Structure 1
Amino acid sequence: MTSQEAHPQRTGEPATTSAPHHGPPIPHNGPLVTEEDIAAVTEALRSGWLASGPRTAALEEAFAERFHPMHACAVSSGTAGLTLALRGAGLGDTGATVAVPTYGCSALLDAVLAAGCTPMVVDITERTLTLDPERLDRASRLDAVIAVHTHGHPADLDALRPKAALLVEDCCQSLGGHDEQGRPLGGIGDAAVFSFYATKVISAGEGGMLLQSDRAAWERVRVHQDPAAREIYTPRFNHRLPDPAAALALSQFRRLDRIVAHRRTLAARFTAALPPHIAPPPGLAPGQVPYRYCLRAADRAQQQQWIGHLRAAGISADPLIPARHLLHRQLGLEPQEYPVAERVVDSTVSVPLFAALTDEQAHRVAAALTGLPD
């Protein structure tokens, strides 16, 4: 989950080395809304059903079918889904320790704290930018781990499984992907959360989906979708997903495999365009969803040189997360305890890769990548 998608972090205007671009600027990200999507939302609006209703239920059924035997609950956001995953497991308001990767959106902290738990921020692996299992204490078992499949790269779930009583997959950037063993991301942990934010793999503007393997946990979170009065009062929040948003998400979910295939084609095209001295993004593997196409520069100077080269070609390249937004820094923790994340933010160059990218835009991106300076 990355808040930087809506408001990309700007780092000034680095020196440029490429020729001026021809054509309109290419954004870093953007949603793909088709006529099919518009028709689905229009039908929902004309039905007169604006609150959660039949389309929300249909979306839940579609996810439950794809990720059988998981139980599905549509929610108002990915953050809400993470919060409810912890509460559904009985960890709410217990101060339970929940490990999260430092390279990620601050919504991870929001979700853990909103659930009444305690976040433990952990450094990441160099290759996949996911939470590093080796950084966790081998002597004690955590209450929970939120394993983010960062940029679509699968976290090492098998290594994380014995580390915590509850394993939550954050699939907000990996819908439609599989791990190296061919298992669908979202169907491996005790719970999984997806986001339908505007620039995710599929979009409803906002919203998300929570999957849970334990039916009792699923039943506990369903009360947050029930607007009726409680027999015995307990506080709860409204985390429901309205029908028009569910209609949009369902329309896109039905063509998920095509969306994922297009992303993979784009990633392969960009890799083929790279000059010999530029390595492709580490961590890219068959089966995963290339949510981001992130090159890794040698240092900050080269990072800024590459970003300048691409921006001069009218391509909105981006470093994604500045150092001050790393979660350990947000909590005032010592940067030297998180060396991999500190190094990654000064080397990452994210190139536009999203479902709405046209063939002409992809051609311009590939051409600019071919000319990346050494």
Structure 2
Amino acid sequence: MTLDKRLGQRFLPYGANYLAWSDMAELKEVIDHQVLFRYQTETESMASRLERQVSGRLGAAHALAVHNCTEALRLALISTRPSIGDPVYIPAVTFVAVAGAVLSCGLIPVLVDADDSLSLDRTLLPSDARRVVVAHMEGAVAALPEGVPYLIEDCAQSLGARFADGRSVGTAGYAGTFSFHHNKVLTSGEGGLVVTDDDEAWSTMRRYHDHGSARVPGHYPTWNQDAHYGENFVTSEQVAAVQCQQFRHLDELLAGLERMYTVAMTELPNRPDLEVRPRTKGDVKVSLRLCWESRELRDAAVAALTAEGIANWTLGKYLLPEHPVLTGRRSLYADGFPWNHAPEGPLALSRDGFARTRDLLDRTLCVPLSPELPEPEQVLAAKAVRRVLEAV
């Protein structure tokens, strides 16, 4: 029997392990109310309750719940009122959804190489950059550039993380976006949030996310006389209910991650060919990030951990300079939109053609931590990881 079966672990152990029928008071409330559309009720909707709780927890003036984080990114970008073909500087190391959100808004992604922490290297940005997306990857708090009017924080993998000054990630720039996908810190299967302190941005996003009108709860459908076109990104009451349940466990989950991270760090083998990539106090400790001396050692560690049933993953999938959407300028439009509005030449900022970043990713391995386990089982899990790594 493999380790994950013996300890009751799942491959993606975060918020999903806190889901329980006995803890679904909000979902029961929604079902008993028999209204699953947020604007159909005159009382406070579950989605509005979620947004109020999120705003209070994160310290943001406004929050808006949507179907997923990609929609949240799109809303943040659209609310800046861009022109077709405007550049958006995005990390070279992040999920392709960031590039997809930029392109679907008719904008052009410009890849910015990573620094040693694998976050966007802000020193490479031009002084006139207006739209920049910074991703807080793997729970790690990224350094933010200064002087960017539309700085969007992609916090899909870092809900609960904080900057050194105590602010929550997602609240330091123009807008912040969050994900409730299954493998994120908290989950409702899918789901997203966008937060902002900008009143005008929030008003624009709220209208756009529901066909261009600001709905009056209990009076659906009504239209504003100044309505513009929009799309349907409105979340449902049952999804918001699951997210409310998940938020009640956020502090417990974060504490469990901190506890297991401390345990795991004391159990890691002392090998000259293995470096643990550092985490700061404010990071969400979703995983150990291990950097090996060579890709061959990394691959051997992957094989050994997998054979023992210990969850792990690599980060090569996040290297956007090698993604076909970017390399081939792929589009479903006959005229190649929006790439037909892009300038000629490479849309990338890197000192070495991403060679250093590619090498870092080739040697990096992540082992997720399990916050839901009691401390004795966390110790057992950490010792099992150590035994495997010592034998590589």
TM (normalized to structure 1)? 0.85
Deviation at 1:304, TM superposition (A): 0.9
Asked if structure 1 preserves the Cα contact closer than 8 Å seen for 2:160 and 2:254, the reply is yes
Deviation at 1:288, TM superposition (A): 1.7
Asked if structure 2 preserves the Cα contact closer than 8 Å seen for 1:271 and 1:280, the reply is no
What are the residue-to-residue correspondences of 1:44-59 with 2, within 5 Å? 44-53=30-39, 54-59=45-50
The RMSD of aligned alpha carbons is 2.4
Map of 2:206 onto structure 1: 222
Map of 1:4 onto structure 2: none
What are the residue-to-residue correspondences of 1:279-358 with 2, within 5 Å? 281-322=276-317, 326-330=319-323, 331-332=326-327, 337-357=353-373
**1:211 alignment partner, SS class:** strand
Deviation at 1:212, TM superposition (A): 1.2
Asked if structure 1 preserves the Cα contact closer than 8 Å seen for 2:256 and 2:372, the reply is no
Deviation at 1:251, TM superposition (A): 1.4
Deviation at 1:191, TM superposition (A): 0.6
Asked if structure 1 preserves the Cα contact closer than 8 Å seen for 2:255 and 2:371, the reply is no
Provide the C-alpha distance between the structure 2 equivalents of 1:70 and 1:94, rounded to a whole number of angstroms.
29
Map of 1:79 onto structure 2: 70
Choose from 175, 187, 201 the match for 1:203: 187
Asked if structure 1 preserves the Cα contact closer than 8 Å seen for 2:149 and 2:174, the reply is no
Provide the C-alpha distance between the structure 2 equivalents of 1:77 and 1:249, rounded to a whole number of angstroms.
12
Asked if structure 2 preserves the Cα contact closer than 8 Å seen for 1:72 and 1:209, the reply is yes
Asked if structure 2 preserves the Cα contact closer than 8 Å seen for 1:28 and 1:351, the reply is no
Provide the C-alpha distance between the structure 2 equivalents of 1:23 and 1:115, rounded to a whole number of angstroms.
42
Greater Rg over alpha carbons, structure: 2
Deviation at 1:287, TM superposition (A): 2.1
Deviation at 1:306, TM superposition (A): 1.1
TM-aligned CA distance change 1:361 to 1:344, over 3 Å: farther
Asked if structure 2 preserves the Cα contact closer than 8 Å seen for 1:70 and 1:187, the reply is no
Asked if structure 1 preserves the Cα contact closer than 8 Å seen for 2:3 and 2:308, the reply is yes
* Alignment-mate amino acid for residue 181 of structure 1: D
What are the residue-to-residue correspondences of 1:255-274 with 2, within 5 Å? 255-274=249-268
* Alignment-mate amino acid for residue 326 of structure 1: L
1:114 aligns with 2:104: yes
**2:37 alignment partner, SS class:** coil
Deviation at 1:243, TM superposition (A): 0.7
Provide the C-alpha distance between the structure 2 equivalents of 1:287 and 1:141, rounded to a whole number of angstroms.
30
Of 46-55 and 241-250, the range deviating more from structure 2: 46-55
* Alignment-mate amino acid for residue 141 of structure 2: P
Deviation at 1:349, TM superposition (A): 1.1
Map of 1:28 onto structure 2: 11
TM-aligned CA distance change 1:49 to 1:317, over 3 Å: same
Asked if structure 1 preserves the Cα contact closer than 8 Å seen for 2:88 and 2:107, the reply is yes
Provide the C-alpha distance between the structure 2 equivalents of 1:23 and 1:337, rounded to a whole number of angstroms.
39
Provide the C-alpha distance between the structure 2 equivalents of 1:358 and 1:112, rounded to a whole number of angstroms.
42
Choose from 107, 123, 144 the match for 1:134: 123
**2:146 alignment partner, SS class:** helix
Provide the C-alpha distance between the structure 1 equivalents of 2:154 and 2:3, rounded to a whole number of angstroms.
39
TM-aligned CA distance change 1:356 to 1:199, over 3 Å: farther
The runs of 5 or more residues in structure 2 that have no matched partner are 40-44, 216-220, 328-345
* Alignment-mate amino acid for residue 200 of structure 2: A
Q: C-alpha offsets along residues 250-271 of structure 1, whole Å, 9 cap, x if unaligned?
A: 1111231111111111111111
Provide the C-alpha distance between the structure 2 equivalents of 1:236 and 1:37, rounded to a whole number of angstroms.
36
TM-aligned CA distance change 1:181 to 1:22, over 3 Å: closer
Asked if structure 1 preserves the Cα contact closer than 8 Å seen for 2:155 and 2:177, the reply is yes
1:148 aligns with 2:135: yes
Deviation at 1:283, TM superposition (A): 3.1
**2:149 alignment partner, SS class:** strand
1:174 aligns with 2:158: yes
Map of 2:56 onto structure 1: 65
Deviation at 1:277, TM superposition (A): 1.6
1:193 aligns with 2:177: yes
Provide the C-alpha distance between the structure 2 equivalents of 1:171 and 1:114, rounded to a whole number of angstroms.
20
Provide the C-alpha distance between the structure 2 equivalents of 1:328 and 1:228, rounded to a whole number of angstroms.
45
1:105 aligns with 2:90: no
**Structure with larger RCO (C-alpha < 8 A, sep 6+):** 1
Provide the C-alpha distance between the structure 1 equivalents of 2:30 and 2:167, rounded to a whole number of angstroms.
34
Q: C-alpha offsets along residues 36-78 of structure 1, whole Å, 9 cap, x if unaligned?
A: 5434323322321112251000011111222334211111111
Deviation at 1:165, TM superposition (A): 2.1
Provide the C-alpha distance between the structure 1 equivalents of 2:119 and 2:373, rounded to a whole number of angstroms.
26
Asked if structure 2 preserves the Cα contact closer than 8 Å seen for 1:310 and 1:368, the reply is no
Choose from 123, 126, 133 the match for 2:113: 123
Of 142-151 and 174-183, the range deviating more from structure 2: 174-183
**1:24 alignment partner, SS class:** helix
Map of 1:8 onto structure 2: none
